[in-house]
């Protein structure tokens, strides 16, 4: 019961107060544990009463017997085993809790807060052999992967990358890109710079693209199997065989 309450309470706190105040998942789990400990005091007598109603046997030791070394040893071992088994059963709740939701909500909140904090500079004059994109803004998890994916999907090849982070939790990422071993056309710079800016606002983009790619691979595999089956059936209809009598 304690583990179940801690998981649900900690997850609820992480998805609400944790997102608003920016507290860590461990801090939310600690608060959830406080709630669980308080609830265990309230429900302790209820559980014992339920056990009595179910007719579970009681040892019935008197005060002298409870002081015997064997009884105390067995009691400690029983309590230990009970706590471990009960806590392990409480972990079953993890199958019903979206453990990634709090992280996604925090990232979305961070992204909305920093939506207009990024700047993108595109230049064809800094290098004669390549285009240089400079992105400045707050340090957000997944940002570099998201921007790299945006450049790749735009047909750009990243030849050099200089990623800098500073003590004030800001970054300056410099991408040196080419297409077909040449710098990009001047009329393309604004469009790709806007894509980089969009990627900076959505650092989950890389994860989304990966998920979509996996889904497309699975769909392609299923379609291939269907085509093979249809081709086999079509061949069966095209061939007619008569055996000798």
Query: Looking at residue 197, which CATH number applies to its domain?
Result: 3.30.70.260
214 in any annotated domain? no
As for how many domains the chain has, the answer is 2
Instruction: Verify that 79 and 138 share a domain, yes or no.
Output: no
Instruction: Verify that 120 and 102 share a domain, yes or no.
Output: no
Residue-level pLDDT at 66: 83
Q: Where residue 210 falls among pLDDT bands split at 50, 70, 90?
A: low
Instruction: Verify that 94 and 31 share a domain, yes or no.
Output: yes
pLDDT in tens, 64-93: 888 899 988 998 998 899 889 988 998 888
215 in any annotated domain? no
From the CB of residue 103, how many other CB atoms can be counted at a distance below 10 Å?
17
Instruction: Verify that 102 and 119 share a domain, yes or no.
Output: no
User: Which of 42-56, 162-176, 217-231 shows the lowest per-residue confidence on average (mean pLDDT)?
Assistant: 42-56
Torsions phi, psi of 142, nearest 5?
85, 0
Q: Considering the entire predicted model, what is its pTM?
A: 0.47
d(CA 172, CA 167): 12
243 in any annotated domain? no
Instruction: Verify that 122 and 96 share a domain, yes or no.
Output: no
Instruction: Verify that 100 and 127 share a domain, yes or no.
Output: no
State the residue range of the domain holding 150: 114-203
pLDDT in tens, 152-180: 989 999 999 999 999 888 899 999 999 98
Residue written as token pair 């998920």: 211
Instruction: Verify that 78 and 126 share a domain, yes or no.
Output: no
Instruction: Verify that 18 and 88 share a domain, yes or no.
Output: yes
pLDDT in tens, 130-158: 999 999 988 877 788 889 988 998 999 99
User: Which of 100-109, 138-147, 192-201, 224-233 shows the lowest per-residue confidence on average (mean pLDDT)?
Assistant: 100-109
Whether 207 shows a pLDDT value over 60: the answer reads: no
């Amino acid at each position: 019961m304690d583990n179940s309450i801690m998981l649900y309470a900690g997850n609820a706190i992480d998805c609400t107060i944790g997102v608003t105040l920016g507290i860590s998942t461990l801090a939310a789990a600690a608060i959830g544990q406080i709630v669980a400990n308080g609830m265990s005091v309230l429900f302790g007598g209820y559980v014992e009463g339920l056990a009595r109603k179910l007719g579970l046997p009681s040892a019935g030791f008197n005060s002298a017997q409870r002081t015997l070394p064997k009884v105390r040893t067995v009691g400690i071992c029983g309590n230990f085993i009970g706590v471990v088994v009960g806590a392990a059963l409480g972990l079953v709740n993890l199958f019903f809790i979206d453990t990634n939701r709090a992280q996604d909500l925090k990232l979305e909140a961070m992204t909305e807060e920093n939506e207009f904090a990024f700047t993108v500079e595109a230049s064809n004059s800094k290098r004669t052999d390549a285009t240089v994109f400079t992105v400045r803004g707050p340090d957000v998890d997944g940002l570099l992967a998201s921007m790299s994916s945006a450049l790749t999907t735009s047909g750009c090849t990243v030849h050099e990358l200089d990623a800098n982070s500073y003590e004030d939790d800001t970054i300056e990422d410099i991408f040196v890109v080419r297409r077909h071993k040449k710098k990009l056309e001047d009329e393309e710079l604004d469009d790709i710079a806007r894509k980089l800016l969009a990627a900076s606002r959505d650092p989950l983009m890389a994860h989304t693209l990966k998920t979509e790619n996996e889904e497309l691979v699975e769909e392609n595999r299923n379609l291939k199997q269907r085509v093979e089956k249809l081709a086999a059936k079509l061949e069966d209809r095209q061939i007619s065989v008569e055996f000798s009598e």
